A and B are shown apart, each in its own frame.
Chain A
Amino acid sequence: MGKVAIIDYGMGNIDSVLRAVEECGAEPVLTNEKAVLETCSSIILPGVGAFSDAMRQLKKLSLDLIIKEQVLEKNIPFLGICLGMQLLASRGTEGGDTEGLNLIKGSVARFESNAKDIRIPHMGWNEVVFKTDSQLFNGIDSGKDFYFVHSYHFKPDNDSDIAGTTPYCGEFVSVVGRGLIFGTQFHPEKSQKTGFRLLRNFLEI
């Protein structure tokens, strides 16, 4: 495991991700600079907050272009967590219609619930059913619980990009994967042993 860039763009709980990566035995580097990013062997995009705000921040720092270059041209493994996963999409609606990174085609929409017992945000531990044999899932049983806290979810255009789903408001996509680009709607850094196993799997790619 080499150096892992954790992208610092002013959106949320980066310290938790940093600590978790450290615990997994890799060397996290908190950065938003191109020169530093280019020395890293993988990239994690964390984030909590609103889609439009986050994209604005990424663009302001030219991180959208830098990420695309690293991921698409240099084939560096990429993991988006929570909002970081949603930003992979082509477009989002939170805080107004906004273009995303467009690394995995699809859109981000708010959960709609009419049932009294299906409350939004989706908050707590819920199972993830694996749809592929992605290397992210090595050594983890399908159906294990991970920690979620979100009101929006990613709807990929292509079924082949869906790596895992979770039952809530029907069913939603909780893991996406396309080549070495991954995204988890849940927080592996807050999902204890199972979450750490998934993070380690990513860091070992």
Chain B
Amino acid sequence: MLKTRIMPTLLYKDLGLIKSIKFDSWRRVGAPLQAIKVFNLREVDELIFLDISATNAGREPDFALIDELADYCFMPMTVGGGVRTIEHVRKLLKVGADKVSLNSIVPDNMSLITEIANKFGSQCVVVSIDAKRDGKGGHEAYTHSGKMATGRKPENIARQAEESGAGEILLTSIDNDGTMEGYDLELIKKVSDSISIPLIASGGCGSFEHMLQALATAKASAVAAASIYYYTEQTPLEAKRYLEANGIKVRI
């Protein structure tokens, strides 16, 4: 049976790893290579590495950095941040990324998803959607690290991304990010129900119980988390033991 993936997220900004709260108020949490080596040793299921300042700084992905990190990463790695062309994707895959995550470019350029899927396969296109509650009972998608409102609903972007050839959705709640108060279950459920590709839930995880809620209640296919690993003593392995005891199939 396919195991549920428990993934650490690494956010990269200004040469180091950071952790944000609500996509703001950054705190430095270490060096990327060191983090990758630790997670590699712990044999985590998969890693997400997002360079969150690339797009806003008008930069390309840092291929040399990814090349170095991938050399020590013998687990699957999704890489995002600043990806705007098929050439970026080709280079990232070549230096060792397994999947590439698209965010800011997506709402206005669904055809890029199709182009990548046709060339490299759907399985390597992750569409990352950042969403915030809109105050009217729904959600709105944002790009550029939460700075730019799209006027569109995350579930519609997700559905269109799937139709265009995306292989997976990484869905992050801006409101819950870094709060450690739990995932936005309503958001996850809504998007998960709209698509038939896997969905990774992100934003707000502060306990193993939160992971269980996102998986069992909101029907996420996988859970991503960051703060819980940085600010508590808890590890991905302990998370999996808890989930297994609660009926979720995981790899231990």
Binding site for B on A (CB under 8 A): 10-16, 19-20, 23, 48-50, 53, 83, 94-95, 113, 116-117, 119-127, 145, 147, 149-151, 167-168, 187, 189-190, 192-193, 195-196
Inter-chain contacts of A95 with B (CB < 8 A):
118
> In the bound complex, do residue A151 and residue B122 qualify as a contact, i.e. CB atoms below 8 Å apart?
yes
Interface stretch (choices B1-9, B14-22, B141-149): B1-9
Contact of A193 with B167 at beta-carbon distance under 8 Å, contacts A13-B96, A124-B2, A124-B222 already known: no
Given the interface pairs A48-B93, A124-B45, the reply to whether A119 lies near B251 with Cβ below 8 Å is no
Chain B interface, >50% SS class: loop
B98 at the interface (CB under 8 A from A): yes
**Interface residues of chain A: helix, strand, loop or mixed (majority):** mixed
The 8 A CB mask of B60-89 against A (1 = contact, 0 = none) is: 000000010011001110000000000000
- For A53, list chain B residues within 8 Å (CB): 118-119
Q: How far is the CB of B86 from chain A (nearest CB, A)?
A: 12
B98 close to A192 (CB less than 8 A) = no
- Within 8 Å by CB of A126, from B1, B93, B95, B168, lies B1
**Chain A residue at minimal CB-CB distance from B121:** A49
* CB <8 Å contact, B99 and A149: yes
B237 at the interface (CB under 8 A from A): no
Q: Are A121 and B122 in contact (CB under 8 A)?
A: yes
List of A residues within 8 angstroms of B4 by Cβ: 124
Taking a contact as CB atoms under 8 Å apart, the answer to whether A149 and B76 are in contact is yes
Chain B residues closer than 8 Å to A48, beta-carbon distance: 93, 98, 120-121, 123-124
Chain B stretch 221-236: residues in CB contact (< 8 A) with chain A: 221-222
